[in-house]
Structure 1
């Protein structure tokens, strides 16, 4: 009875590792995309703020 359990354990662990790897890659991709869009939005915000400030000073 102990043999099947011992056999199934490594496969289960590798499945879990694979799942964790995929989840981690997915999270990194999501974070990267979020940071990229956030950066571009901040740049746009900064540019518009600069132009408004320049207009105000001029």
Structure 2
């Protein structure tokens, strides 16, 4: 959800920050690129390395 809230064309957070600061959406989107990159990286790691997402499951059921 975080990636969807930041990335254009439907990035709701871009519109909110633009309304609060008065900056253009494109300028804000350009500054959000590193954050989107790391969020996508973490999403891919969780999707393709299952031990990351299942590591804490046994502890949750004790």
Q: TM-score, normalised by structure 2?
A: 0.36
Higher alpha-carbon Rg = 1
Considering fraction of residues, name the structure with more helix: 1
Q: TM-score, normalised by structure 1?
A: 0.38
